Amino acid sequence: MLFQHKNVLITGGSRGIGKAIALRLAAEGANVAIAAKTAEPHPKLEGTIYTAAEEIAKAGPGKVLPLQGDIRFEESIEQIVKTTVELFGGIDILVNNASAISLTPTEQTEAKRWDLMHGINVRGTFLMSKACIPHLKKSHNPHILNLSPPLNMDPRWFAPHLAYTMSKYGMSMVVYGLAEELKPHRIAANALWPKTTIATAAVENLLGGDFLVQRSRTPEIVADAAFHILQRPSYECTGNFFIDEEVLTAEGITDFTRYAVNPAQKLMNDLFV
């Protein structure tokens, strides 16, 4: 088991891509802590941190720690990291997956929506990374992986949804900076982004409903890409903006049909690709 005795902390781990990564790494023996806000069932969202933890516990032999928290708040971040270290003994991998999305033009973007996206996507990612660095320094092969896109200054990615683009690019700038800053400590910082839309609650509820879900891939493709990235030597593999399909192609995987929600439908490219 490639991740046996590895301690992984994943934000936004109760559903979607975060949960898929948790399941993949747990199956390889990792201890997994999932931090998310959903502790009670939500009418529009599948699962809670506790139902996700039950699934993850069945996937592998490692420990699972469900943690309710809100990464917009520093005290919540500190408690998440403290509890993870107390139970697991350290942190080897941080996956910054938690995100908020609103694909609204500037005039339709409310201040509270701006604050939510930047509070989670940028501030939360930055401060969670900061809180984990002292523990990652003690790891043999430490990794930070952000679910954020390549930095592409094409105006077409800014014009339709400026606030969201700024927040996701903020996550990517955290990667860009930390990769260089943390090189002396051999801590890797990379980004991972899907080539196509992924069938998650955000896609179904906010972006395109079942029409878009049918033209998407499952979260497992991102989880499999993360699995390959996170086992690479941290001192060599850092500062990259990976695309899931490209990672798997490099690993010799060429048939992606099993990841399609509906193989009969043409896939929809994700934003920023």
Q: What is the DSSP letter of 41?
A: -
- Residue 29: CB atoms within 10 A of its CB come to 15
| Residue 189 · residue 172 · CB < 8 Å | no
| Residue 35 · residue 57 · CB < 8 Å | no
| Residue 243 · residue 273 · CB < 8 Å | yes
Q: Helix (H) and strand (E) counts for the chain?
A: 10, 7
- Determine whether 164 is an active site residue: yes
Given 50, 164, 176, 235, which residue is catalytic?
164
Q: How far apart are CA 76 and CA 74, in angstroms?
A: 5
Q: How far apart are CA 178 and CA 37, in angstroms?
A: 26
Q: Give the residue numbers annotated as catalytic, written as ranges.
A: 164
